[in-house]
Structure 1
Amino acid sequence: MGMRIGYGFDSHAFKAGVPLVIGGLAIEHSEGLAGHSDGDVLLHAITDALLGAVSAGDIGTFFPPSDPRWKGAASSVFLKTALEEVATSGYRIVNIDTVLVMARPKIVPIAGELRESVAGLLGVQPGEVGIKAKTPEGLNQDHVAVAHAMVLLESLSVPEPVKKLSATADVDEVNQVVESLVEGVRDTSALGRKRPAFDADDLT
Protein backbone atom coordinates (compact mmCIF):
# COMPACT_ATOMS: atom_id res chain seq x y z
CA MET A 1 0.00 0.00 0.00
CA GLY A 2 1.47 3.38 -1.03
CA MET A 3 2.22 6.06 1.53
CA ARG A 4 2.75 9.80 1.12
CA ILE A 5 3.72 12.60 3.47
CA GLY A 6 3.00 16.31 3.23
CA TYR A 7 4.33 19.36 5.06
CA GLY A 8 2.61 22.71 5.55
CA PHE A 9 3.60 26.00 7.14
CA ASP A 10 1.81 29.29 7.73
CA SER A 11 2.19 32.44 9.80
CA HIS A 12 0.01 35.45 10.59
CA ALA A 13 0.51 38.59 12.66
CA PHE A 14 -1.95 39.40 15.41
CA LYS A 15 -4.36 42.26 14.76
CA ALA A 16 -6.79 44.10 17.01
CA GLY A 17 -10.46 44.19 16.15
CA VAL A 18 -10.76 40.76 14.52
CA PRO A 19 -11.84 37.44 16.10
CA LEU A 20 -9.22 34.80 16.82
CA VAL A 21 -9.90 31.48 15.07
CA ILE A 22 -7.44 28.58 15.27
CA GLY A 23 -8.20 25.06 14.10
CA GLY A 24 -11.77 26.09 13.33
CA LEU A 25 -12.22 26.99 17.00
CA ALA A 26 -13.20 30.51 18.12
CA ILE A 27 -10.82 31.49 20.93
CA GLU A 28 -11.39 34.32 23.37
CA HIS A 29 -8.46 36.73 23.05
CA SER A 30 -7.85 40.46 22.76
CA GLU A 31 -6.61 40.12 19.17
CA GLY A 32 -7.19 37.91 16.15
CA LEU A 33 -4.98 36.98 13.21
CA ALA A 34 -4.68 39.23 10.18
CA GLY A 35 -5.33 37.64 6.80
CA HIS A 36 -7.42 37.78 3.64
CA SER A 37 -9.58 34.96 5.01
CA ASP A 38 -10.29 34.31 8.69
CA GLY A 39 -6.53 33.96 9.35
CA ASP A 40 -6.78 30.42 10.72
CA VAL A 41 -3.07 29.68 10.73
CA LEU A 42 -3.47 26.04 11.78
CA LEU A 43 -6.01 25.08 9.11
CA HIS A 44 -3.93 26.87 6.47
CA ALA A 45 -0.86 24.82 7.38
CA ILE A 46 -2.88 21.58 7.37
CA THR A 47 -4.44 22.48 4.02
CA ASP A 48 -1.01 23.01 2.47
CA ALA A 49 0.24 19.73 3.95
CA LEU A 50 -2.67 17.81 2.41
CA LEU A 51 -2.31 19.47 -0.99
CA GLY A 52 1.44 18.96 -0.99
CA ALA A 53 1.12 15.28 -0.15
CA VAL A 54 -0.78 14.65 -3.39
CA SER A 55 1.19 17.20 -5.46
CA ALA A 56 -1.88 19.40 -5.97
CA GLY A 57 -0.23 22.79 -5.47
CA ASP A 58 -0.88 24.94 -2.43
CA ILE A 59 -3.57 27.07 -0.84
CA GLY A 60 -2.72 30.05 -3.05
CA THR A 61 -3.25 27.95 -6.17
CA PHE A 62 -6.88 27.35 -5.26
CA PHE A 63 -7.68 30.47 -3.24
CA PRO A 64 -5.50 33.41 -4.34
CA PRO A 65 -5.61 36.38 -1.94
CA SER A 66 -6.34 38.64 -4.90
CA ASP A 67 -9.77 36.99 -5.29
CA PRO A 68 -12.42 38.94 -3.32
CA ARG A 69 -14.55 35.79 -2.96
CA TRP A 70 -12.29 34.60 -0.16
CA LYS A 71 -12.27 37.84 1.83
CA GLY A 72 -13.09 36.79 5.40
CA ALA A 73 -13.87 33.22 4.28
CA ALA A 74 -13.87 30.38 6.80
CA SER A 75 -10.71 28.31 6.36
CA SER A 76 -12.77 25.13 6.64
CA VAL A 77 -13.73 25.80 2.98
CA PHE A 78 -10.05 25.58 2.01
CA LEU A 79 -9.62 22.41 4.05
CA LYS A 80 -12.60 20.72 2.39
CA THR A 81 -11.11 21.35 -1.04
CA ALA A 82 -7.79 19.84 0.06
CA LEU A 83 -9.63 16.78 1.38
CA GLU A 84 -11.34 16.39 -1.99
CA GLU A 85 -7.97 16.45 -3.72
CA VAL A 86 -6.71 13.74 -1.36
CA ALA A 87 -9.80 11.57 -1.97
CA THR A 88 -9.77 11.93 -5.75
CA SER A 89 -6.07 11.06 -5.76
CA GLY A 90 -6.94 7.77 -4.04
CA TYR A 91 -5.60 8.43 -0.55
CA ARG A 92 -6.84 8.71 3.01
CA ILE A 93 -5.40 10.35 6.12
CA VAL A 94 -3.47 8.12 8.53
CA ASN A 95 -2.54 10.86 10.98
CA ILE A 96 -1.64 14.53 11.25
CA ASP A 97 0.87 16.17 13.58
CA THR A 98 1.04 19.93 14.14
CA VAL A 99 3.02 22.52 16.08
CA LEU A 100 1.72 25.97 17.00
CA VAL A 101 4.33 28.58 17.87
CA MET A 102 3.01 31.66 19.68
CA ALA A 103 3.56 33.58 22.89
CA ARG A 104 -0.16 33.88 23.66
CA PRO A 105 -2.83 32.78 24.08
CA LYS A 106 -1.71 29.62 25.80
CA ILE A 107 -2.58 26.57 23.73
CA VAL A 108 -2.03 23.78 26.26
CA PRO A 109 -5.30 24.45 28.18
CA ILE A 110 -7.34 24.18 24.95
CA ALA A 111 -5.28 21.55 23.11
CA GLY A 112 -7.96 18.91 23.64
CA GLU A 113 -10.67 21.16 22.18
CA LEU A 114 -8.44 22.01 19.23
CA ARG A 115 -7.79 18.32 18.59
CA GLU A 116 -11.52 17.58 18.61
CA SER A 117 -12.25 20.49 16.27
CA VAL A 118 -9.55 19.60 13.74
CA ALA A 119 -10.43 15.90 13.84
CA GLY A 120 -14.08 16.71 13.15
CA LEU A 121 -13.19 18.88 10.16
CA LEU A 122 -10.88 16.18 8.77
CA GLY A 123 -13.27 13.30 9.41
CA VAL A 124 -10.72 11.38 11.50
CA GLN A 125 -10.46 10.32 15.14
CA PRO A 126 -9.00 12.78 17.69
CA GLY A 127 -6.26 10.24 18.41
CA GLU A 128 -5.07 10.71 14.81
CA VAL A 129 -4.44 14.44 15.32
CA GLY A 130 -1.45 15.84 17.20
CA ILE A 131 -1.55 19.40 18.58
CA LYS A 132 1.62 20.73 20.21
CA ALA A 133 2.49 24.24 21.37
CA LYS A 134 5.80 26.07 21.65
CA THR A 135 6.74 29.61 22.64
CA PRO A 136 8.89 31.69 20.26
CA GLU A 137 11.76 32.17 22.69
CA GLY A 138 14.56 34.20 21.14
CA LEU A 139 12.80 34.48 17.78
CA ASN A 140 11.35 37.99 18.18
CA GLN A 141 7.95 36.68 17.12
CA ASP A 142 5.86 37.55 20.16
CA HIS A 143 3.17 39.18 18.01
CA VAL A 144 3.00 36.41 15.40
CA ALA A 145 1.35 32.98 15.26
CA VAL A 146 3.15 30.24 13.35
CA ALA A 147 1.90 26.75 12.48
CA HIS A 148 3.68 23.68 11.13
CA ALA A 149 1.79 20.58 9.98
CA MET A 150 2.81 17.11 8.80
CA VAL A 151 0.39 14.59 7.31
CA LEU A 152 0.73 10.91 6.50
CA LEU A 153 -1.52 9.44 3.80
CA GLU A 154 -2.07 5.88 2.64
CA SER A 155 -3.46 4.77 -0.69
CA LEU A 156 -6.94 3.32 -0.80
CA SER A 157 -7.04 -0.29 -1.92
CA VAL A 158 -8.88 -0.80 -5.21
CA PRO A 159 -11.38 -3.71 -5.17
CA GLU A 160 -10.42 -6.59 -7.48
CA PRO A 161 -13.59 -6.22 -9.63
CA VAL A 162 -12.55 -2.65 -10.41
CA LYS A 163 -9.07 -3.80 -11.43
CA LYS A 164 -10.60 -6.34 -13.81
CA LEU A 165 -13.03 -3.75 -15.14
CA SER A 166 -10.22 -1.33 -15.92
CA ALA A 167 -8.65 -3.89 -18.22
CA THR A 168 -11.73 -4.17 -20.45
CA ALA A 169 -13.95 -1.11 -19.91
CA ASP A 170 -13.69 2.17 -21.74
CA VAL A 171 -12.53 5.35 -20.03
CA ASP A 172 -16.03 6.65 -19.24
CA GLU A 173 -17.03 3.41 -17.50
CA VAL A 174 -13.89 3.39 -15.38
CA ASN A 175 -14.41 7.01 -14.39
CA GLN A 176 -17.96 6.27 -13.29
CA VAL A 177 -16.81 3.43 -11.07
CA VAL A 178 -13.99 5.45 -9.52
CA GLU A 179 -16.31 8.37 -8.80
CA SER A 180 -18.75 6.02 -7.10
CA LEU A 181 -15.99 4.96 -4.70
CA VAL A 182 -15.19 8.47 -3.57
CA GLU A 183 -17.81 10.11 -1.38
CA GLY A 184 -18.59 13.78 -1.53
CA VAL A 185 -16.74 14.61 -4.77
CA ARG A 186 -17.59 18.13 -5.90
CA ASP A 187 -16.67 20.24 -8.91
CA THR A 188 -13.86 22.54 -7.80
CA SER A 189 -13.34 24.21 -11.18
CA ALA A 190 -15.10 27.35 -9.95
CA LEU A 191 -12.60 27.62 -7.13
CA GLY A 192 -9.72 28.25 -9.48
CA ARG A 193 -8.43 24.69 -9.47
CA LYS A 194 -4.74 24.48 -10.30
CA ARG A 195 -4.35 28.01 -11.55
CA PRO A 196 -0.76 28.23 -12.78
CA ALA A 197 -0.14 31.77 -11.54
CA PHE A 198 -0.87 33.40 -8.20
CA ASP A 199 0.39 36.18 -6.00
CA ALA A 200 3.46 34.97 -4.09
CA ASP A 201 2.58 37.37 -1.26
CA ASP A 202 0.03 34.93 0.11
CA LEU A 203 -2.16 36.70 2.66
CA THR A 204 -4.40 33.72 3.37
Structure 2
Amino acid sequence: MSMRIGFGFDSHAFKPGVPLIIGGLEIDHTEGLAGHSDGDVLLHAITDALLGAVSAGDIGTFFPPSDPRWKGAASSLFLRTSLEEIATAGYRIVNIDTVLVMMRPKIVPIAGDLRQRVAELLEIKPSAVGIKAKTPEGLNQDGVAVAYATVLLESIDDDSAPKAIAATADVDEVNSVVESLVVQVRDTQALGRKAPVFDTDDIT
Protein backbone atom coordinates (compact mmCIF):
# COMPACT_ATOMS: atom_id res chain seq x y z
CA MET A 1 0.00 0.00 0.00
CA SER A 2 1.30 3.45 -0.90
CA MET A 3 0.40 6.81 0.63
CA ARG A 4 0.13 10.28 -0.88
CA ILE A 5 -0.09 13.70 0.80
CA GLY A 6 -1.62 16.77 -0.84
CA PHE A 7 -1.67 20.42 0.20
CA GLY A 8 -4.09 23.10 -0.97
CA PHE A 9 -4.49 26.83 -0.45
CA ASP A 10 -7.03 29.42 -1.57
CA SER A 11 -8.08 32.96 -0.68
CA HIS A 12 -10.88 35.33 -1.65
CA ALA A 13 -11.87 38.86 -0.74
CA PHE A 14 -15.25 39.54 0.79
CA LYS A 15 -17.82 41.15 -1.50
CA PRO A 16 -21.26 42.60 -0.74
CA GLY A 17 -24.34 41.42 -2.59
CA VAL A 18 -23.37 37.75 -2.96
CA PRO A 19 -24.12 34.78 -0.66
CA LEU A 20 -21.37 33.45 1.58
CA ILE A 21 -20.65 29.82 0.71
CA ILE A 22 -18.05 27.92 2.73
CA GLY A 23 -17.64 24.16 2.76
CA GLY A 24 -20.74 23.73 0.63
CA LEU A 25 -22.90 25.57 3.19
CA GLU A 26 -24.59 28.92 2.78
CA ILE A 27 -23.74 30.96 5.86
CA ASP A 28 -25.71 33.91 7.12
CA HIS A 29 -23.44 36.93 6.73
CA THR A 30 -23.58 40.44 5.32
CA GLU A 31 -21.02 39.65 2.58
CA GLY A 32 -20.01 36.72 0.44
CA LEU A 33 -16.73 35.91 -1.28
CA ALA A 34 -15.75 37.29 -4.67
CA GLY A 35 -14.91 34.71 -7.29
CA HIS A 36 -15.53 33.39 -10.78
CA SER A 37 -17.46 30.49 -9.26
CA ASP A 38 -19.33 30.57 -5.95
CA GLY A 39 -16.13 31.58 -4.15
CA ASP A 40 -16.11 28.60 -1.75
CA VAL A 41 -12.61 29.07 -0.41
CA LEU A 42 -12.65 25.87 1.67
CA LEU A 43 -13.75 23.52 -1.12
CA HIS A 44 -11.25 25.13 -3.48
CA ALA A 45 -8.38 24.44 -1.08
CA ILE A 46 -9.55 20.84 -0.57
CA THR A 47 -9.91 20.33 -4.33
CA ASP A 48 -6.37 21.54 -4.98
CA ALA A 49 -5.03 19.34 -2.18
CA LEU A 50 -6.67 16.26 -3.69
CA LEU A 51 -5.51 17.04 -7.22
CA GLY A 52 -2.00 17.79 -6.01
CA ALA A 53 -1.76 14.51 -4.12
CA VAL A 54 -2.09 12.56 -7.39
CA SER A 55 -0.16 15.08 -9.53
CA ALA A 56 -3.25 16.00 -11.55
CA GLY A 57 -2.69 19.77 -11.66
CA ASP A 58 -5.01 22.24 -9.99
CA ILE A 59 -8.49 23.72 -10.35
CA GLY A 60 -7.34 25.94 -13.20
CA THR A 61 -6.29 22.84 -15.16
CA PHE A 62 -9.89 21.67 -15.27
CA PHE A 63 -11.93 24.84 -14.85
CA PRO A 64 -10.07 27.87 -16.30
CA PRO A 65 -11.46 31.27 -15.28
CA SER A 66 -11.58 32.24 -18.94
CA ASP A 67 -14.35 29.68 -19.52
CA PRO A 68 -17.80 31.25 -18.98
CA ARG A 69 -19.32 27.84 -18.23
CA TRP A 70 -17.91 27.99 -14.71
CA LYS A 71 -19.24 31.46 -13.90
CA GLY A 72 -21.09 31.09 -10.60
CA ALA A 73 -20.60 27.30 -10.61
CA ALA A 74 -21.02 25.36 -7.38
CA SER A 75 -17.62 24.35 -6.03
CA SER A 76 -18.96 20.87 -5.27
CA LEU A 77 -18.54 20.25 -9.01
CA PHE A 78 -14.81 20.97 -8.72
CA LEU A 79 -14.60 18.68 -5.71
CA ARG A 80 -16.32 15.81 -7.54
CA THR A 81 -13.80 16.13 -10.34
CA SER A 82 -10.92 15.84 -7.88
CA LEU A 83 -12.53 12.74 -6.35
CA GLU A 84 -12.77 11.26 -9.85
CA GLU A 85 -9.08 11.94 -10.37
CA ILE A 86 -7.90 10.25 -7.18
CA ALA A 87 -10.14 7.24 -7.86
CA THR A 88 -8.73 6.96 -11.39
CA ALA A 89 -5.23 7.09 -9.92
CA GLY A 90 -6.15 4.25 -7.55
CA TYR A 91 -6.37 6.14 -4.26
CA ARG A 92 -8.92 6.98 -1.60
CA ILE A 93 -9.04 9.51 1.24
CA VAL A 94 -7.75 8.54 4.68
CA ASN A 95 -8.33 11.89 6.34
CA ILE A 96 -8.29 15.62 5.68
CA ASP A 97 -7.36 18.57 7.86
CA THR A 98 -8.21 22.20 7.13
CA VAL A 99 -7.67 25.68 8.54
CA LEU A 100 -9.87 28.70 7.81
CA VAL A 101 -8.33 32.11 8.47
CA MET A 102 -10.80 34.99 8.63
CA MET A 103 -11.88 37.72 10.98
CA ARG A 104 -15.59 37.11 10.39
CA PRO A 105 -17.92 35.33 10.56
CA LYS A 106 -16.99 33.13 13.49
CA ILE A 107 -16.44 29.55 12.35
CA VAL A 108 -16.34 27.75 15.70
CA PRO A 109 -20.15 27.79 16.21
CA ILE A 110 -20.70 26.13 12.81
CA ALA A 111 -17.58 23.93 12.68
CA GLY A 112 -19.65 20.80 13.34
CA ASP A 113 -22.01 21.57 10.47
CA LEU A 114 -19.08 22.30 8.17
CA ARG A 115 -17.40 19.03 9.14
CA GLN A 116 -20.57 17.09 8.44
CA ARG A 117 -21.14 18.74 5.05
CA VAL A 118 -17.55 18.32 3.88
CA ALA A 119 -17.62 14.67 4.96
CA GLU A 120 -20.80 14.13 2.93
CA LEU A 121 -19.26 15.70 -0.16
CA LEU A 122 -16.10 13.62 0.21
CA GLU A 123 -18.06 10.47 1.12
CA ILE A 124 -16.00 9.86 4.27
CA LYS A 125 -16.78 9.86 7.98
CA PRO A 126 -16.95 13.22 9.81
CA SER A 127 -14.27 11.90 12.17
CA ALA A 128 -11.88 11.94 9.19
CA VAL A 129 -12.42 15.68 8.60
CA GLY A 130 -10.69 18.40 10.59
CA ILE A 131 -12.05 21.95 10.54
CA LYS A 132 -10.12 24.63 12.44
CA ALA A 133 -10.47 28.42 12.49
CA LYS A 134 -7.99 31.23 13.13
CA THR A 135 -8.15 35.01 12.98
CA PRO A 136 -5.60 37.00 10.96
CA GLU A 137 -4.29 38.94 13.93
CA GLY A 138 -1.98 41.76 12.90
CA LEU A 139 -1.98 40.74 9.23
CA ASN A 140 -4.37 43.39 7.91
CA GLN A 141 -6.52 40.73 6.22
CA ASP A 142 -9.89 41.53 7.77
CA GLY A 143 -11.53 41.65 4.34
CA VAL A 144 -10.15 38.33 3.16
CA ALA A 145 -10.94 34.65 3.78
CA VAL A 146 -8.07 32.15 3.51
CA ALA A 147 -8.18 28.35 3.59
CA TYR A 148 -5.49 25.69 3.90
CA ALA A 149 -6.08 21.97 3.40
CA THR A 150 -3.94 18.87 3.82
CA VAL A 151 -5.09 15.42 2.70
CA LEU A 152 -3.74 11.92 3.20
CA LEU A 153 -4.53 9.28 0.58
CA GLU A 154 -3.92 5.54 0.53
CA SER A 155 -3.80 3.25 -2.46
CA ILE A 156 -6.80 1.01 -3.04
CA ASP A 157 -6.01 -2.66 -2.46
CA ASP A 158 -7.41 -4.24 -5.62
CA ASP A 159 -6.31 -7.70 -4.47
CA SER A 160 -9.24 -7.87 -2.09
CA ALA A 161 -11.88 -7.52 -4.84
CA PRO A 162 -11.35 -10.86 -6.66
CA LYS A 163 -11.36 -12.72 -3.33
CA ALA A 164 -14.71 -11.21 -2.42
CA ILE A 165 -16.14 -12.07 -5.83
CA ALA A 166 -14.85 -15.65 -5.73
CA ALA A 167 -16.42 -16.21 -2.35
CA THR A 168 -19.93 -15.35 -3.53
CA ALA A 169 -20.05 -15.92 -7.31
CA ASP A 170 -19.94 -18.94 -9.59
CA VAL A 171 -17.27 -19.55 -12.22
CA ASP A 172 -19.20 -17.96 -15.09
CA GLU A 173 -19.77 -14.76 -13.09
CA VAL A 174 -16.11 -14.51 -12.16
CA ASN A 175 -15.03 -15.08 -15.77
CA SER A 176 -17.45 -12.38 -16.93
CA VAL A 177 -16.06 -9.85 -14.48
CA VAL A 178 -12.45 -10.65 -15.33
CA GLU A 179 -13.17 -10.41 -19.07
CA SER A 180 -14.79 -7.00 -18.64
CA LEU A 181 -11.78 -5.74 -16.71
CA VAL A 182 -9.35 -6.98 -19.36
CA VAL A 183 -11.29 -6.03 -22.49
CA GLN A 184 -12.98 -2.82 -21.48
CA VAL A 185 -11.09 0.35 -22.35
CA ARG A 186 -11.47 2.73 -19.47
CA ASP A 187 -11.69 6.42 -20.09
CA THR A 188 -9.18 7.95 -17.72
CA GLN A 189 -10.16 11.46 -18.65
CA ALA A 190 -12.27 12.71 -15.76
CA LEU A 191 -14.90 15.41 -16.11
CA GLY A 192 -13.27 18.56 -17.43
CA ARG A 193 -9.84 16.93 -17.92
CA LYS A 194 -7.64 18.70 -20.41
CA ALA A 195 -3.97 19.16 -21.06
CA PRO A 196 -2.50 20.93 -18.01
CA VAL A 197 -2.23 24.66 -18.41
CA PHE A 198 -0.80 26.08 -15.24
CA ASP A 199 -2.19 29.58 -15.39
CA THR A 200 -1.05 31.84 -12.58
CA ASP A 201 -4.46 33.52 -12.57
CA ASP A 202 -6.73 32.46 -9.73
CA ILE A 203 -9.59 30.30 -10.98
CA THR A 204 -12.02 32.01 -8.67
2:167 is matched with none
Distance 1:31 1:161, change over 3 A: closer
Distance 1:153 1:198, change over 3 A: closer
Is contact 2:63-2:203 (8 Å) kept? no
Q: Does 1:201 align with 2:201?
A: yes
Is contact 1:97-1:130 (8 Å) kept? yes
1:14 is matched with 14
Counterpart amino acid of 1:146?
A: V
**1:116-172 Cα shifts (integer Å, max 9, x gaps):** 00000000000000000000001110000000000000000122786xxxxxx99x8
Cα RMSD (Å) of the superposition? 2.4
Structure 2 residues without counterparts, runs of 5 or longer: 163-177
Number of residue pairs the alignment of both structures matches: 191
Q: What displacement does 1:196 show?
A: 2.9
Distance 1:109 1:173, change over 3 A: closer
Q: What displacement does 1:188 show?
A: 3.1
SS in 2 for 1:79: helix
**1:12-58 Cα shifts (integer Å, max 9, x gaps):** 00000000000000000000000000000000000000000000000
Is contact 1:8-1:46 (8 Å) kept? yes
Larger Rg: 2
SS in 2 for 1:141: coil
Q: Does 1:131 align with 2:131?
A: yes
Write the distance in 2 (CA, Å) between the matches of 1:175 and 1:61.
30
1:42 is matched with 42
2:190 is matched with 188
SS in 1 for 2:184: helix
Q: Does 1:120 align with 2:117?
A: no
Q: What displacement does 1:89 show?
A: 0.5
Counterpart amino acid of 2:184?
A: Q
1:174 is matched with 182
Structure 1 residues without counterparts, runs of 5 or longer: 163-168, 180-184
1:4 is matched with 4
